[in-house]
Amino acid sequence: MLRLYDMPKNHHCRDTVVTIGNFDGVHRGHRHLIWQIVRRARDLNADAVVLTFEPHPLTVLRPDVHVRRLNSPEERAEIIASLGVDLLITYPFTPEVASVSARDFVSMLRDRLCMVELWVGPDFALGRNREGNIEKLQELGREIGFEVRQFEPFSWHGHVIHSTDIRLLVAGGAVDKAEDLLGYPYSLAGEVVPGDGRGKKIGVPTANLAVCSGRLLPASGVYVAWATVGDGSRYPAVVNVGNRPTFDGGSVTVEAHLLDFYGDIYGWEVVLEFRNRLRCERRFSGVEALVAQIHRDIEAARKVLGVPPKEPSAPDPFFHEIEHTADWEIQVVGRNYESLFANAARAMYMLVMAPFDRPAETRREIEVSGLDRESLLVKWLGELLYLQETHEELYTRFCIHQITDTHLEAEVRGVRGRSDMAHIKAVTYHDLSIRPRPDGYEATILFDT
């Protein structure tokens, strides 16, 4: 799937079947519609196009309204891509766009996208003052040269699904009912950041997630979830959403205790899939009463997920050093190319003892290209070393936004300063290789020190 963040500057080379909407959550009803336009596009030898807006139009039209989203634009794009769509346009919604007439907007779609069909729901409207209702769009279609097709609302258990209903369920803590309407577990993703350390002190360490702003948090309470960490490992979890009233409250946090796990995952992204709500958050008489309840929550979570207790084991190391006479050589693994490249960067900065336990202070966007996977890996790590020297920064958080065999786009975060360890001068091509393995990929990398 090709993703654009504006209308293509040149005319699209094939006819397209288009649908327009916010698609927050990409729930069962949304997917049913998108599957229809994909099938229709295949029948017409055309491309299936989904046009969505960012930010949410309501936040532009009504700045006093705060819309909490069911998923981020990136999560939404990932789900839409899985449905076979050819082109996703995340169109910037501004006051100027809101003032465009329906005629001008669909004329642009016809001209830039070669739109032959526009699929809309019964309550759909676009353009200035929502003038472009179905009757108006049909009139414009006859004039400009495209067909308007109205799809029937999708019913689930006898009810039409709406994103608003799902948001109400999540906000009320009914994540299991929200999952039924979404067709997949409601999830939150975030980087693990240092917290106040109270969980570790009471024997129940937690991963404190920095969830991106604008995401809808479930109601305060304790939840059963599955947690997937950055290397692809998956663990049962007990999650607390709230302000921890036993410790005199504070800002709302999302903290996950991963069962049968110990290790350092600061700076890693963790995805939480909420399965059920165990109880409301409440104030306990003291720490002992809280700890006793947490252990009851853990047992309840095991029953819900069907996971028996077992001895915790350390996570598999994602890299190890290979003995070398002068330079540093490592072998690094990852479950896919995203994690392989992120782990390679993480390993490089672990070699120079970068302070992974410190909160990130800087942020950089990186885009590199190479002739193949191996050269792309060298360009990626080399760019990090260049930025490190230029800005006197050490990078500790690595998020790969997009990767192919020859191109990578990523965001990295780090801290200011230099390392006192041996200096890595460059990434070499000597002995460089990327190989498949049963559980993903591995790479051998030699650093010139």
Q: Which of 97, 163, 147 is nearest to 89 (CA)?
A: 97
Fold match between domain 2-159 and domain 319-448: no
Q: Which of 440, 434, 371 is nearest to 405 (CA)?
A: 371
Q: Options 2.30.40.10, 3.40.50.300, 3.60.20.10, 2.40.30.30; which CATH number does 164-305 get?
A: 2.40.30.30
153-169 burial by CB neighbour count: b if 16+ within 10 A, else e? ebeeeeeebebeebbeb
Q: Which of 78, 60, 61 is nearest to 23 (CA)?
A: 78
- Here the tokens at position 62 are 């009504």
Q: Please check whether residue 333 is in contact with residue 440, taking contact to mean a CB–CB distance below 8 angstroms.
A: yes
Rounded Cα–Cα distance for residues 190 and 101 (Å): 39
Non-local (6+) Cβ contacts of 204 within 8 A are 257, 291, 294
- Looking at domain 319-448, its CATH superfamily turns out to be Archease domain (3.55.10.10)
Q: Per-residue pLDDT tens, the chain, 449 aa: give them.
A: 899 998 887 777 799 999 999 999 999 999 999 999 999 999 999 999 999 999 888 888 888 878 889 999 889 999 999 999 999 999 999 999 889 999 999 999 999 999 999 999 888 899 888 899 999 999 999 999 999 999 888 889 989 999 999 999 999 999 999 999 999 999 999 888 877 666 666 677 888 998 888 899 999 999 999 999 876 778 999 999 987 665 555 678 899 999 987 666 777 789 999 999 999 988 877 778 888 888 899 999 999 999 887 655 555 578 888 876 667 899 999 878 888 998 899 899 988 888 877 777 888 999 999 999 999 999 999 999 999 999 999 998 888 888 999 999 988 988 998 877 668 889 999 889 999 988 789 999 999 88
Q: Are strands 16-20 and 115-120 parallel, antiparallel or unpaired?
A: parallel
Architecture of domain 2-159: 3-Layer(aba) Sandwich (3.40)
- Here the tokens at position 12 are 């699209």
Q: 300 burial class (0-12, 13-18, 19+ CB within 10 angstroms)?
A: middle
Q: Please check whether residue 19 is in contact with residue 119, taking contact to mean a CB–CB distance below 8 angstroms.
A: yes
Residue ranges per structural domain of the chain: 2-159, 164-305, 319-448
Q: Which of 141, 87, 89, 147 is nearest to 117 (CA)?
A: 147
